[in-house]
């Protein structure tokens, strides 16, 4: 079984060459010296991931969690210590505001580091993921007083954060939630039950800051009557010290298919006197506030898809180099299965998808940094539109392809893949949650079609297809691709344009939009990923000529891009067929 090694060379390449980190720092107002420390940051994070977080992945899966009668949760052996080292290393604070103890590094750099945590140990990585979302929601919506009291410890990681939307009868339909908030002097009393709360209770941090959606008395029905509250596990005194325990607890832990070491809690608020909570943002505007958190989490769940794909590929590669079986064409003796063309096909598919997903996801994360920059209004709006468009694509596409890559990796292992011992079974089990949480992929696709394509009259998708067309027409591309490959890419962009027009022309027909939404998302994912792969190829050629990347890396990237364009991009056509036939009612 392989251990995980962070792919720092590809990560560094995507950050520096594809995302153009130096330019991003200049334009968005980050310290330009970030570029010089990228390799050091990636190496150090890779060491923590490999030496401390990955070694407790399998043991955590087997050991799971314990909950006692008073609702206290004990994490698997080694989790607490690894988390402590993560906090001491300042890893949680990379991208946050220096005013509250953050390091002010671009989000895209922090995202590359987070990719490592999830590759190494998805259960563990979910704790920082949720905390980061809570920091975002508080930063953008809470009062100065709440920020002062809660942000520094959340940013340092000494306290962790959660997101509490779901209730038994309010999942996708979050507007149906029933948890109540009653105004008191200076705070609210929260009463209700939430389910599936990730890292809702645990022993890794000294406090847990829950962000809870609840309803005020006489609030309007549906999402318009939801408010957001900050509900700490332990109340925080004026001077920042910890006070009394709040009236909330974990009632039980879910018994899940995967992520066994991650506590998924049924949480009870206000069983006794009511849990003290503090309003974040305005009354009845909770869903907008929660969206700051959800949008961030959606991108990072997409990133988890990249992590799973990378990990699954590494695991398969290592196994295929060692497993001896059969005589491959062109060989005289039995040898490692990596010699077999069909095994090579699976490995090439896994590698090219993982690299494409990384390039696409980092590109979207870079948009987060651009939207935080001090840009002229028109440009800022454009970056906001691009971020809005890419977010459901990254969440949906990267988590769908993660299932494929995990499954292919298992396939490479043959019968041993189906046996827990190799570890690939855990990756497959852990990965299966990705298309479900943070809004199912069905909901992501409707967000893409409803809000992002129809909602802005097709402006953002038009901007994207136009940019891709201009890119495809660059003279340099014709020297890097065959005519067939280049034509194929251009056709795919035209098809995406046509698919968007079909959706826009049928905007009144909600059934049509719902029927084709998933295919639009997947089609957009394949094409946008191809665009990023071709950008990678172009940048790799320039970097190779400038001697800033090795010939091995250039050769590998060239092969991976070719495989993606020849074998993966064509999948867009089947999605396009579904979209085209839905228009004529031939479904």
Ligand X SMILES: Cc1cc2nc3c(=O)[nH]c(=O)nc-3n(C[C@H](O)[C@H](O)[C@H](O)COP(=O)(O)OP(=O)(O)OC[C@H]3O[C@@H](n4cnc5c(N)ncnc54)[C@H](O)[C@@H]3O)c2cc1C
Angle at 326 between CA 322 and CA 329, to 5 degrees: 105
Site string for ligand X, 160-179 (x = CB under 6 A): ---xxxx----xx-------
Residue identified by tokens 């999402």 is: 223
User: Which of helix, strand or coil describes residue 273?
Assistant: coil
Nearer to ligand X by C-beta: 29 or 514? Answer: 514
Least distance to ligand X, CB of residue 301, Å: 10
Residues 6+ apart with CB under 8 A from 105: 30, 34, 41, 94, 95
Q: Other CB atoms closer than 10 Å to residue 31's CB: what's the count?
A: 13
Chain residues 518-547 in contact with ligand X, contact rule CB under 6 A:
none
Least distance to ligand X, CB of residue 437, Å: 4
Select which of 136, 167, 438, 497 is catalytic.
438
Residue nearest to ligand X (CB): 171
Applying CB under 6 A, which part among 54-62, 90-98, 340-348, 437-445 lies near ligand X? 437-445
Least distance to ligand X, CB of residue 269, Å: 13
Nearer to ligand X by C-beta: 48 or 163? Answer: 163
Least distance to ligand X, CB of residue 44, Å: 29
CA Rg value for the chain: 24
Q: How far apart are CA 572 and CA 488, in angstroms?
A: 11
Nearer to ligand X by C-beta: 166 or 560? Answer: 166
Q: Is 65 in the site for ligand X (CB under 6 A)?
A: no
Angle at 89 between CA 83 and CA 95, to 5 degrees: 100
Q: For ligand X, which residue of 13, 79, 100, 437 counts as binding (CB under 6 A)? A: 437
Nearer to ligand X by C-beta: 5 or 440? Answer: 440
Q: How far apart are CA 257 and CA 31, in angstroms?
A: 43
Ramachandran sector of residue 543 (left: φ over 0; alpha: ψ -120 to 50; beta: rest): alpha
Nearer to ligand X by C-beta: 363 or 399? Answer: 399
Exposed e or buried b per residue across 406-434, where buried means at least 16 C-beta atoms within 10 angstroms of its C-beta:
bbbbbebbeeebeeeebbbbbbbbbbbbb
Concerning whether 438 is annotated as a catalytic residue, the answer is: yes
Residues 6+ apart with CB under 8 A from 415: none
Nearer to ligand X by C-beta: 199 or 564? Answer: 199
- Of 211, 197, 177, 301, nearest to 254 by C-alpha is 197
Least distance to ligand X, CB of residue 131, Å: 12
Q: Is 214 in the site for ligand X (CB under 6 A)?
A: no
Least distance to ligand X, CB of residue 311, Å: 18
Q: How far apart are CA 509 and CA 490, in angstroms?
A: 29
Element (H, E) at 300: helix 286-322
Q: How far apart are CA 276 and CA 94, in angstroms?
A: 30
Give 448's Cβ-side CA count (13 Å radius): 33
Chain residues 465-494 in contact with ligand X, contact rule CB under 6 A:
none
Whether the CB-CB separation of 164 and 213 falls below 8 Å is answered with yes
Sign for the CA dihedral angle at 121, 123, 124, 126 comes to positive
Q: Is 269 in the site for ligand X (CB under 6 A)?
A: no
Q: How far apart are CA 358 and CA 11, in angstroms?
A: 8
What distance lies between CA 220 and its chain's CA centroid? 33
User: Which of helix, strand or coil describes residue 9?
Assistant: helix
Least distance to ligand X, CB of residue 172, Å: 3
Element (H, E) at 265: strand 264-269
User: Which of helix, strand or coil describes residue 505?
Assistant: helix
> Beta partners for 74?
66
Nearer to ligand X by C-beta: 443 or 507? Answer: 443
Q: How many residues bind ligand X (CB under 6 A)?
A: 18
Nearer to ligand X by C-beta: 29 or 175? Answer: 175
Q: How far apart are CA 340 and CA 411, in angstroms?
A: 14
Applying CB under 6 A, which part among 12-20, 73-81, 279-287, 432-440 lies near ligand X? 432-440
Q: How far apart are CA 499 and CA 521, in angstroms?
A: 11
Q: Is 442 in the site for ligand X (CB under 6 A)?
A: yes
Q: Is 440 in the site for ligand X (CB under 6 A)?
A: yes
Site string for ligand X, 189-208 (x = CB under 6 A): -------xxx----------
Q: Is 433 in the site for ligand X (CB under 6 A)?
A: yes
Burial (CB count <10 Å: 0-12, 13-18, 19+), residue 553: middle
What distance lies between CA 527 and its chain's CA centroid? 19
Nearer to ligand X by C-beta: 121 or 532? Answer: 121
Least distance to ligand X, CB of residue 403, Å: 14
Q: For ligand X, which residue of 44, 235, 380, 443 counts as binding (CB under 6 A)? A: 443
Q: For ligand X, which residue of 264, 292, 300, 426 counts as binding (CB under 6 A)? A: 264
User: Which of helix, strand or coil describes residue 444?
Assistant: helix
Nearer to ligand X by C-beta: 349 or 441? Answer: 441
Least distance to ligand X, CB of residue 504, Å: 20
Nearer to ligand X by C-beta: 198 or 465? Answer: 198
Least distance to ligand X, CB of residue 165, Å: 3
Least distance to ligand X, CB of residue 52, Å: 24
Paired tokens of 483? 């005519």
Q: Is 229 in the site for ligand X (CB under 6 A)?
A: no
Q: Which residues bind ligand X (CB under 6 A)?
A: 163-166, 171-172, 196-198, 256, 264, 433, 436-437, 439-440, 442-443
Catalytic residue IDs:
438
């Amino acid at each position: 079984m392989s251990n995980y090694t962070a792919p720092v060379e590809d990560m560094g390449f995507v950050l520096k060459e594809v995302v153009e980190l130096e330019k991003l720092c200049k334009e968005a107002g980050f310290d330009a010296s970030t570029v010089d420390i990228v390799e050091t940051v990636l190496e150090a994070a890779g060491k923590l991931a490999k030496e401390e977080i990955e070694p407790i992945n399998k043991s955590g899966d087997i050991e799971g969690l314990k909950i006692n009668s008073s609702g206290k949760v004990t994490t698997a052996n080694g989790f607490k210590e690894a988390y402590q080292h993560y906090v001491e290393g300042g890893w949680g604070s990379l991208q946050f505001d220096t005013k509250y103890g953050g390091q002010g590094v671009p989000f895209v750099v922090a995202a590359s580091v987070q990719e490592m945590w999830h590759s190494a140990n998805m259960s563990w990585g979910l704790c920082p993921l949720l905390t980061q979302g809570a920091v975002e929601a508080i930063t953008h919506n809470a009062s100065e007083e709440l920020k002062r009291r809660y942000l520094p410890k959340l940013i340092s990681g000494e306290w962790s954060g959660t997101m509490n939307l779901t209730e038994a009868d309010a999942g996708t339909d979050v507007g149906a939630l029933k948890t109540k908030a009653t105004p008191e002097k200076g705070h609210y009393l929260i009463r209700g039950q939430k389910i599936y709360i990730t890292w809702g209770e645990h022993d890794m941090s000294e406090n847990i800051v829950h962000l809870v959606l609840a309803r005020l008395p006489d609030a309007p029905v549906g999402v318009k009557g939801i408010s957001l509250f900050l509900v700490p596990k332990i109340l925080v005194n004026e001077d920042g010290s910890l006070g009394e325990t709040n009236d909330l607890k974990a009632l039980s832990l879910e018994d899940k298919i995967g992520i066994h070491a991650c506590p998924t809690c049924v949480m009870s608020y206000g069983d006794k006197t009511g849990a003290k909570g503090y309003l974040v943002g305005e009354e009845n505007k909770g869903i907008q506030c929660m969206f700051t958190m959800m949008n961030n989490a959606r991108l990072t769940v997409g990133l988890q898809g990249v992590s799973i794909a990378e990990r699954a590929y590494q695991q398969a590669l290592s196994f295929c180099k060692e497993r001896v079986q059969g005589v491959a064409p062109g060989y005289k003796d039995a040898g490692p299965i990596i010699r077999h063309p069909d095994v090579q096909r699976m490995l090439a598919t896994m590698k090219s998808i993982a690299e494409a997903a990384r390039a696409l996801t980092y590109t979207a994360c870079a948009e987060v940094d651009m939207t935080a920059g001090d840009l002229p209004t028109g440009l800022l709006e454009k970056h906001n539109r691009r971020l809005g468009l890419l977010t459901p694509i990254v969440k949906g596409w990267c988590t769908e392809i993660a299932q494929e890559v995990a499954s292919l990796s298992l396939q490479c292992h043959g019968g041993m893949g189906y046996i827990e011992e190799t570890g690939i079974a855990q990756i497959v089990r852990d990965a299966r949650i990705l298309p479900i949480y943070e809004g199912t992929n069905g909901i992501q696709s409707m967000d893409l079609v409803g809000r992002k394509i129809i909602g802005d009259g097709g402006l953002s998708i038009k901007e994207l297809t136009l940019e891709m067309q201009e890119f495809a027409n660059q003279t340099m591309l014709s020297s890097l691709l065959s005519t067939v490959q280049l034509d194929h890419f251009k056709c795919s962009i035209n098809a995406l344009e046509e698919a968007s027009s079909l959706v826009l022309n049928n905007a009144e027909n909600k059934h049509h939009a719902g029927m084709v939404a998933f295919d639009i998302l997947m089609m957009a994912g394949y094409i946008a990923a191809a665009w990023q792969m071709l950008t990678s190829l172009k940048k790799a050629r320039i970097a190779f000529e400038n001697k800033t990347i090795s010939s091995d890396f250039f050769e590998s990237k060239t092969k991976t891009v070719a495989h993606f364009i020849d074998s993966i991009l064509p999948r867009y056509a089947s999605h396009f067929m579904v979209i085209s036939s839905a228009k004529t009612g031939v479904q």
